[in-house]
Amino acid sequence: MPLDDALAARMAEPDFWPVYLFDDDAPDVYCDDAEDQESHVTRFGTGGGFALVLELTLALEYVDLDLEAPGLPEPANVGWDDQAHFHPHVMPWRELDLLCRAVALHDAELRHPGPMLALLCRFAFLAENDDLDTVTPLVDAAFEAVRPGAAGGGKVRAETREWFDLRNLRGTGLVWTTRADGYDAVGQDGTDGLPLYSLRTPSSEEFPFAAWSALLTFARGRTAAAAADPVLARPAVREALDRCLAADGHEHLRALADALAAAGYGNRVLLRAVADPVDRAEACWAVETLAGLPQGELVARWFGPSPLSGSRSWRLSLSLPVRGRPERFGPQAAEQLNAALQAANLGSAGLGGSSLHPEDGGYVLAEQHLDILIRDDLARGVEVVSRVLHTHAAAGTATLRPQGKPDVIPLRPPT
Protein backbone atom coordinates (compact mmCIF):
# COMPACT_ATOMS: atom_id res chain seq x y z
CA MET A 1 0.00 0.00 0.00
CA PRO A 2 1.63 3.30 -1.06
CA LEU A 3 1.94 6.33 1.17
CA ASP A 4 -1.42 7.88 2.03
CA ASP A 5 -2.23 10.51 -0.64
CA ALA A 6 -3.26 13.19 1.85
CA LEU A 7 -0.07 12.72 3.88
CA ALA A 8 2.08 12.68 0.74
CA ALA A 9 0.58 15.98 -0.35
CA ARG A 10 0.99 17.48 3.14
CA MET A 11 4.64 16.41 3.29
CA ALA A 12 5.32 18.53 0.20
CA GLU A 13 4.17 21.71 1.95
CA PRO A 14 6.98 23.85 3.39
CA ASP A 15 5.68 23.90 6.96
CA PHE A 16 5.20 20.14 7.32
CA TRP A 17 8.69 19.03 8.32
CA PRO A 18 9.38 21.85 10.82
CA VAL A 19 6.08 20.98 12.54
CA TYR A 20 6.57 17.21 12.33
CA LEU A 21 10.12 17.41 13.69
CA PHE A 22 9.09 19.75 16.55
CA ASP A 23 11.45 22.47 15.36
CA ASP A 24 11.55 25.48 17.66
CA ASP A 25 10.84 27.81 14.75
CA ALA A 26 7.94 25.75 13.36
CA PRO A 27 4.75 27.71 12.61
CA ASP A 28 1.82 27.33 14.98
CA VAL A 29 -0.82 25.02 13.48
CA TYR A 30 -2.88 24.61 16.65
CA CYS A 31 -6.65 24.55 16.24
CA ASP A 32 -9.10 25.15 19.11
CA ASP A 33 -11.72 22.80 17.66
CA ALA A 34 -10.71 19.22 18.49
CA GLU A 35 -12.73 17.88 15.55
CA ASP A 36 -10.75 20.05 13.12
CA GLN A 37 -7.30 19.08 14.41
CA GLU A 38 -5.16 18.01 11.46
CA SER A 39 -4.26 14.32 11.66
CA HIS A 40 -2.96 11.69 9.28
CA VAL A 41 -2.66 7.91 9.35
CA THR A 42 -0.49 5.84 7.03
CA ARG A 43 0.60 2.18 6.95
CA PHE A 44 3.95 0.69 6.04
CA GLY A 45 3.34 -2.96 5.21
CA THR A 46 5.92 -5.70 4.77
CA GLY A 47 3.36 -8.29 3.65
CA GLY A 48 2.40 -11.35 5.65
CA GLY A 49 -0.15 -9.33 7.63
CA PHE A 50 2.54 -7.12 9.23
CA ALA A 51 2.49 -3.33 9.12
CA LEU A 52 3.67 -0.31 11.07
CA VAL A 53 0.91 2.26 11.42
CA LEU A 54 1.91 5.89 11.87
CA GLU A 55 -0.62 8.36 13.20
CA LEU A 56 0.26 12.00 13.62
CA THR A 57 -1.66 14.97 14.97
CA LEU A 58 0.36 17.97 13.91
CA ALA A 59 -1.46 20.60 15.96
CA LEU A 60 -0.90 18.63 19.17
CA GLU A 61 2.70 17.72 18.30
CA TYR A 62 1.86 14.07 18.83
CA VAL A 63 3.11 11.12 16.79
CA ASP A 64 2.04 7.53 17.49
CA LEU A 65 3.38 4.24 16.13
CA ASP A 66 1.41 0.97 16.21
CA LEU A 67 2.13 -2.55 15.03
CA GLU A 68 -0.31 -4.71 13.07
CA ALA A 69 0.57 -8.40 13.11
CA PRO A 70 -1.12 -11.81 12.79
CA GLY A 71 -2.40 -12.90 16.18
CA LEU A 72 -2.91 -9.38 17.49
CA PRO A 73 -6.62 -8.64 17.97
CA GLU A 74 -5.94 -4.96 17.27
CA PRO A 75 -2.90 -2.80 16.51
CA ALA A 76 -0.52 -2.63 19.46
CA ASN A 77 1.18 0.59 20.44
CA VAL A 78 4.98 0.37 20.34
CA GLY A 79 5.88 4.00 21.00
CA TRP A 80 4.94 7.64 20.72
CA ASP A 81 6.63 11.01 20.55
CA ASP A 82 5.42 14.35 21.86
CA GLN A 83 6.74 17.29 23.86
CA ALA A 84 5.83 15.91 27.29
CA HIS A 85 5.83 12.21 28.20
CA PHE A 86 7.39 10.65 25.10
CA HIS A 87 8.44 7.01 24.67
CA PRO A 88 10.07 7.11 21.23
CA HIS A 89 12.84 4.52 21.66
CA VAL A 90 11.18 1.65 19.80
CA MET A 91 14.03 0.07 17.84
CA PRO A 92 17.75 0.30 17.21
CA TRP A 93 18.85 1.69 13.85
CA ARG A 94 19.49 -1.71 12.28
CA GLU A 95 15.89 -2.76 12.81
CA LEU A 96 14.50 0.38 11.19
CA ASP A 97 16.81 -0.03 8.20
CA LEU A 98 15.79 -3.70 7.88
CA LEU A 99 12.08 -2.85 8.02
CA CYS A 100 12.46 -0.08 5.45
CA ARG A 101 14.17 -2.55 3.11
CA ALA A 102 11.44 -5.14 3.61
CA VAL A 103 8.67 -2.59 2.99
CA ALA A 104 10.42 -1.33 -0.16
CA LEU A 105 10.67 -4.91 -1.46
CA HIS A 106 6.96 -5.38 -0.79
CA ASP A 107 5.71 -2.04 -2.10
CA ALA A 108 7.54 -0.65 -5.12
CA GLU A 109 6.15 2.85 -4.49
CA LEU A 110 7.84 3.14 -1.07
CA ARG A 111 11.45 3.47 -2.09
CA HIS A 112 14.22 3.26 0.47
CA PRO A 113 15.72 5.54 1.64
CA GLY A 114 12.65 7.74 1.40
CA PRO A 115 9.44 8.69 3.21
CA MET A 116 9.30 5.73 5.59
CA LEU A 117 12.81 6.29 6.92
CA ALA A 118 12.33 10.06 7.18
CA LEU A 119 9.06 9.68 9.07
CA LEU A 120 10.04 6.80 11.34
CA CYS A 121 13.65 7.60 12.23
CA ARG A 122 12.31 9.46 15.29
CA PHE A 123 11.39 5.99 16.62
CA ALA A 124 14.90 4.57 16.10
CA PHE A 125 17.95 5.08 18.28
CA LEU A 126 21.66 4.51 17.94
CA ALA A 127 22.95 1.65 20.09
CA GLU A 128 26.48 0.53 20.91
CA ASN A 129 27.00 -1.61 17.81
CA ASP A 130 25.77 1.04 15.35
CA ASP A 131 28.49 2.38 13.06
CA LEU A 132 27.74 5.91 11.88
CA ASP A 133 29.45 5.14 8.57
CA THR A 134 26.54 2.80 7.80
CA VAL A 135 23.85 5.18 9.04
CA THR A 136 24.32 8.77 7.95
CA PRO A 137 24.25 8.23 4.15
CA LEU A 138 20.82 6.59 4.39
CA VAL A 139 19.31 9.19 6.73
CA ASP A 140 20.72 11.99 4.57
CA ALA A 141 19.27 10.42 1.43
CA ALA A 142 15.87 9.91 3.05
CA PHE A 143 15.51 13.58 3.95
CA GLU A 144 16.90 14.65 0.59
CA ALA A 145 14.13 12.60 -1.05
CA VAL A 146 11.31 14.19 0.92
CA ARG A 147 12.82 17.62 1.61
CA PRO A 148 15.18 18.49 -1.25
CA GLY A 149 18.08 20.77 -0.45
CA ALA A 150 21.82 20.14 -0.52
CA ALA A 151 23.71 19.87 2.76
CA GLY A 152 26.95 20.96 1.05
CA GLY A 153 30.58 20.82 2.09
CA GLY A 154 30.60 17.13 2.91
CA LYS A 155 28.47 17.76 6.00
CA VAL A 156 25.40 15.82 7.01
CA ARG A 157 21.97 17.35 6.58
CA ALA A 158 20.58 19.37 9.47
CA GLU A 159 17.81 16.80 9.99
CA THR A 160 20.38 14.00 10.28
CA ARG A 161 22.39 15.95 12.83
CA GLU A 162 19.27 16.76 14.85
CA TRP A 163 18.28 13.09 14.85
CA PHE A 164 21.78 12.13 15.98
CA ASP A 165 21.60 14.64 18.85
CA LEU A 166 18.20 13.35 19.96
CA ARG A 167 18.64 9.60 19.47
CA ASN A 168 22.32 8.83 20.09
CA LEU A 169 22.18 6.40 23.02
CA ARG A 170 25.65 4.99 22.49
CA GLY A 171 27.67 5.16 25.68
CA THR A 172 24.61 5.73 27.87
CA GLY A 173 24.59 2.34 29.58
CA LEU A 174 22.14 0.47 27.33
CA VAL A 175 21.81 -3.19 28.29
CA TRP A 176 20.11 -5.76 26.05
CA THR A 177 18.73 -8.80 27.85
CA THR A 178 16.72 -11.87 26.91
CA ARG A 179 13.46 -12.09 28.82
CA ALA A 180 12.10 -15.31 30.25
CA ASP A 181 9.86 -15.62 27.17
CA GLY A 182 12.94 -15.52 24.91
CA TYR A 183 12.46 -12.04 23.48
CA ASP A 184 15.03 -9.23 23.52
CA ALA A 185 14.44 -6.19 25.71
CA VAL A 186 16.46 -3.07 26.37
CA GLY A 187 17.22 -1.28 29.64
CA GLN A 188 19.68 1.29 30.84
CA ASP A 189 22.19 0.73 33.61
CA GLY A 190 22.48 4.30 34.81
CA THR A 191 23.11 7.01 32.25
CA ASP A 192 25.83 9.41 31.26
CA GLY A 193 23.81 11.04 28.53
CA LEU A 194 20.33 10.78 27.12
CA PRO A 195 17.91 8.63 29.12
CA LEU A 196 16.06 5.70 27.57
CA TYR A 197 12.31 6.13 27.16
CA SER A 198 10.95 2.88 25.81
CA LEU A 199 8.09 0.42 26.19
CA ARG A 200 10.54 -2.34 25.25
CA THR A 201 12.05 -2.77 28.71
CA PRO A 202 12.56 -6.17 30.38
CA SER A 203 9.61 -5.81 32.77
CA SER A 204 7.22 -4.30 30.23
CA GLU A 205 3.74 -5.79 29.90
CA GLU A 206 2.73 -3.34 27.16
CA PHE A 207 5.21 -3.96 24.36
CA PRO A 208 4.15 -6.71 21.87
CA PHE A 209 7.42 -8.67 22.08
CA ALA A 210 6.23 -11.79 20.24
CA ALA A 211 4.62 -9.86 17.39
CA TRP A 212 7.65 -7.58 17.01
CA SER A 213 10.00 -10.56 16.89
CA ALA A 214 7.80 -12.16 14.24
CA LEU A 215 7.86 -8.92 12.23
CA LEU A 216 11.67 -8.87 12.22
CA THR A 217 11.83 -12.55 11.27
CA PHE A 218 9.46 -11.94 8.36
CA ALA A 219 11.48 -8.90 7.21
CA ARG A 220 14.73 -10.86 7.29
CA GLY A 221 13.08 -13.63 5.28
CA ARG A 222 11.85 -11.18 2.65
CA THR A 223 15.29 -9.65 2.13
CA ALA A 224 16.97 -13.07 2.12
CA ALA A 225 14.52 -14.32 -0.50
CA ALA A 226 15.52 -11.51 -2.84
CA ALA A 227 19.10 -12.80 -2.78
CA ALA A 228 18.14 -16.47 -3.26
CA ASP A 229 17.32 -16.27 -6.98
CA PRO A 230 19.55 -18.77 -8.85
CA VAL A 231 20.06 -16.14 -11.54
CA LEU A 232 22.43 -14.34 -9.17
CA ALA A 233 24.86 -17.28 -9.31
CA ARG A 234 25.37 -17.07 -13.07
CA PRO A 235 28.96 -16.14 -13.96
CA ALA A 236 28.13 -12.92 -15.84
CA VAL A 237 25.91 -11.67 -13.04
CA ARG A 238 28.34 -12.71 -10.33
CA GLU A 239 31.23 -10.99 -12.09
CA ALA A 240 29.27 -7.75 -12.46
CA LEU A 241 28.08 -7.96 -8.85
CA ASP A 242 31.61 -8.52 -7.54
CA ARG A 243 32.81 -5.36 -9.29
CA CYS A 244 30.13 -3.39 -7.46
CA LEU A 245 31.42 -4.56 -4.07
CA ALA A 246 34.55 -2.41 -4.26
CA ALA A 247 34.80 1.11 -2.83
CA ASP A 248 34.19 2.47 -6.33
CA GLY A 249 31.49 -0.09 -7.01
CA HIS A 250 28.86 2.55 -7.72
CA GLU A 251 30.71 3.25 -10.97
CA HIS A 252 29.81 -0.25 -12.21
CA LEU A 253 26.06 -0.21 -11.60
CA ARG A 254 25.12 0.01 -15.28
CA ALA A 255 27.01 -3.19 -16.08
CA LEU A 256 25.28 -4.95 -13.18
CA ALA A 257 21.86 -3.72 -14.29
CA ASP A 258 22.52 -4.98 -17.81
CA ALA A 259 23.71 -8.37 -16.54
CA LEU A 260 20.66 -8.77 -14.30
CA ALA A 261 18.27 -7.82 -17.11
CA ALA A 262 19.97 -10.16 -19.59
CA ALA A 263 19.74 -13.02 -17.09
CA GLY A 264 16.04 -12.38 -16.49
CA TYR A 265 16.31 -11.39 -12.82
CA GLY A 266 12.73 -10.87 -11.68
CA ASN A 267 12.82 -8.58 -8.64
CA ARG A 268 11.82 -5.29 -10.21
CA VAL A 269 12.43 -3.27 -7.03
CA LEU A 270 16.10 -4.26 -6.79
CA LEU A 271 16.56 -4.10 -10.55
CA ARG A 272 15.22 -0.53 -10.62
CA ALA A 273 17.34 0.44 -7.61
CA VAL A 274 20.47 -0.66 -9.48
CA ALA A 275 19.48 0.65 -12.92
CA ASP A 276 17.82 3.93 -11.91
CA PRO A 277 18.39 4.80 -8.24
CA VAL A 278 17.01 8.02 -6.80
CA ASP A 279 20.21 8.21 -4.75
CA ARG A 280 23.42 6.23 -4.57
CA ALA A 281 22.28 5.00 -1.15
CA GLU A 282 19.31 3.20 -2.76
CA ALA A 283 21.60 1.34 -5.15
CA CYS A 284 23.91 0.57 -2.24
CA TRP A 285 21.40 -1.34 -0.11
CA ALA A 286 20.13 -3.09 -3.24
CA VAL A 287 23.61 -4.36 -4.09
CA GLU A 288 24.12 -5.36 -0.45
CA THR A 289 20.92 -7.40 -0.65
CA LEU A 290 21.81 -9.02 -3.97
CA ALA A 291 25.24 -9.97 -2.68
CA GLY A 292 23.97 -11.22 0.69
CA LEU A 293 26.26 -8.80 2.56
CA PRO A 294 25.62 -7.82 6.19
CA GLN A 295 23.49 -4.71 6.56
CA GLY A 296 25.52 -1.56 6.10
CA GLU A 297 28.80 -3.20 5.08
CA LEU A 298 28.73 -1.79 1.55
CA VAL A 299 27.29 1.54 2.71
CA ALA A 300 30.42 2.16 4.76
CA ARG A 301 32.61 1.03 1.84
CA TRP A 302 30.93 3.24 -0.77
CA PHE A 303 30.49 6.36 1.32
CA GLY A 304 33.52 6.27 3.60
CA PRO A 305 33.77 7.84 7.07
CA SER A 306 30.69 9.62 8.35
CA PRO A 307 31.01 13.36 8.97
CA LEU A 308 29.52 12.57 12.39
CA SER A 309 32.32 10.20 13.39
CA GLY A 310 33.76 11.53 16.62
CA SER A 311 30.84 13.90 17.14
CA ARG A 312 29.45 14.41 20.61
CA SER A 313 26.54 16.27 22.13
CA TRP A 314 26.07 17.66 25.63
CA ARG A 315 22.72 18.64 27.10
CA LEU A 316 22.92 21.27 29.80
CA SER A 317 20.41 22.99 32.07
CA LEU A 318 20.67 26.71 32.74
CA SER A 319 18.84 28.21 35.73
CA LEU A 320 18.42 31.93 35.20
CA PRO A 321 17.08 34.08 38.08
CA VAL A 322 14.69 36.69 36.66
CA ARG A 323 13.18 38.46 39.72
CA GLY A 324 13.58 42.18 39.24
CA ARG A 325 14.27 41.74 35.55
CA PRO A 326 12.04 42.91 32.67
CA GLU A 327 9.21 40.50 31.83
CA ARG A 328 10.81 39.43 28.54
CA PHE A 329 14.29 38.92 29.99
CA GLY A 330 14.15 35.09 30.08
CA PRO A 331 12.75 34.57 26.57
CA GLN A 332 15.12 37.18 25.13
CA ALA A 333 18.10 35.53 26.82
CA ALA A 334 17.04 32.18 25.36
CA GLU A 335 16.70 33.72 21.89
CA GLN A 336 20.14 35.35 22.10
CA LEU A 337 21.80 32.21 23.42
CA ASN A 338 20.19 30.18 20.65
CA ALA A 339 21.29 32.65 17.97
CA ALA A 340 24.86 32.80 19.31
CA LEU A 341 25.23 29.02 19.53
CA GLN A 342 23.76 28.47 16.08
CA ALA A 343 25.94 31.19 14.56
CA ALA A 344 29.00 29.40 15.96
CA ASN A 345 27.63 26.03 14.76
CA LEU A 346 27.87 24.81 18.34
CA GLY A 347 24.28 23.95 19.22
CA SER A 348 21.06 25.59 20.34
CA ALA A 349 19.12 26.88 23.35
CA GLY A 350 15.48 27.17 24.30
CA LEU A 351 13.14 27.75 27.21
CA GLY A 352 12.48 24.61 29.21
CA GLY A 353 10.35 25.75 32.16
CA SER A 354 10.17 28.14 35.06
CA SER A 355 10.00 28.34 38.86
CA LEU A 356 7.53 30.39 40.91
CA HIS A 357 8.15 31.69 44.41
CA PRO A 358 5.47 32.77 46.91
CA GLU A 359 5.22 36.50 47.48
CA ASP A 360 2.55 38.71 49.08
CA GLY A 361 -0.02 35.92 49.16
CA GLY A 362 0.60 34.98 45.54
CA TYR A 363 3.37 33.73 43.30
CA VAL A 364 5.93 35.51 41.15
CA LEU A 365 8.22 34.23 38.43
CA ALA A 366 11.60 33.64 40.05
CA GLU A 367 13.65 31.58 37.58
CA GLN A 368 13.61 30.59 33.93
CA HIS A 369 15.08 27.22 33.05
CA LEU A 370 16.78 26.90 29.69
CA ASP A 371 17.75 23.73 27.84
CA ILE A 372 21.16 24.06 26.20
CA LEU A 373 22.54 21.74 23.52
CA ILE A 374 26.26 21.96 22.79
CA ARG A 375 27.82 20.05 19.94
CA ASP A 376 31.35 18.72 19.52
CA ASP A 377 33.25 21.36 21.56
CA LEU A 378 31.95 21.73 25.11
CA ALA A 379 34.49 24.35 26.15
CA ARG A 380 33.72 26.66 23.22
CA GLY A 381 30.00 26.20 23.73
CA VAL A 382 30.25 27.16 27.39
CA GLU A 383 32.31 30.20 26.36
CA VAL A 384 29.48 31.34 24.09
CA VAL A 385 26.90 30.87 26.85
CA SER A 386 29.12 32.71 29.33
CA ARG A 387 29.70 35.62 26.94
CA VAL A 388 25.97 36.17 26.36
CA LEU A 389 25.17 35.98 30.08
CA HIS A 390 27.99 38.35 31.03
CA THR A 391 26.65 40.82 28.48
CA HIS A 392 23.42 40.89 30.51
CA ALA A 393 25.22 40.85 33.88
CA ALA A 394 23.49 37.53 34.54
CA ALA A 395 26.43 35.11 34.73
CA GLY A 396 26.97 35.75 38.45
CA THR A 397 23.54 34.45 39.43
CA ALA A 398 22.91 31.88 36.68
CA THR A 399 23.72 28.20 37.23
CA LEU A 400 24.79 25.90 34.39
CA ARG A 401 24.77 22.12 34.92
CA PRO A 402 24.78 18.93 32.86
CA GLN A 403 21.17 17.77 32.68
CA GLY A 404 20.32 15.52 35.60
CA LYS A 405 23.60 16.14 37.44
CA PRO A 406 24.53 18.38 40.37
CA ASP A 407 27.93 19.47 38.96
CA VAL A 408 28.11 23.19 38.29
CA ILE A 409 29.91 24.40 35.16
CA PRO A 410 31.72 27.72 35.80
CA LEU A 411 30.63 30.71 33.75
CA ARG A 412 33.92 32.56 33.56
CA PRO A 413 34.20 36.09 32.16
CA PRO A 414 35.12 36.18 28.46
CA THR A 415 38.77 36.83 27.70
pLDDT above 90 (res 185)? yes
pLDDT greater at residue 26 or residue 183: 183
Quote the pLDDT of residue 33.
58
For 12-45, the pLDDT digits (tens) are 998 899 999 988 777 777 565 556 678 899 999 9
Q: Which of 8-12, 56-60, 67-71 is modeled with the greatest confidence?
A: 67-71
pLDDT greater at residue 350 or residue 237: 237
Measured in residues, the chain has a length of 415
User: What is the pTM for the complete model shown?
Assistant: 0.90
The residue ranges of every structural domain in the chain are 5-224, 228-303, 313-402
Q: Which fold has domain 313-402?
A: Alpha-Beta Plaits (3.30.70)
β-pairing, 124-125 with 362-375? unpaired
Q: Out of 143-152, 229-238, 242-251, 268-277, which region has the weakest mean confidence (pLDDT)?
A: 143-152
Q: What phi and psi values does residue 204 have, to the nearest 5 degrees?
A: -65, 135
Contact between 196 and 187 under an 8 Å Cβ cutoff? The reply is yes
Quote the pLDDT of residue 257.
97
What's the rounded Cα separation, in Å, for the pair 63 and 67?
14
pLDDT greater at residue 30 or residue 241: 241
Confidence label for 407 from pLDDT (cuts 50, 70 and 90) = confident
User: What ranges in 168-232 are assigned the alpha helix state H?
Assistant: 209-226
C-alpha neighbours within 13 Å on the C-beta side of residue 151: 19
**DSSP string for 359-389:** ETTEEEEEEEEEEEEEES-HHHHHHHHHHHH
Quote the pLDDT of residue 25.
74
For 329-378, the pLDDT digits (tens) are 889 999 999 999 999 989 999 888 888 888 777 777 888 999 999 999 99
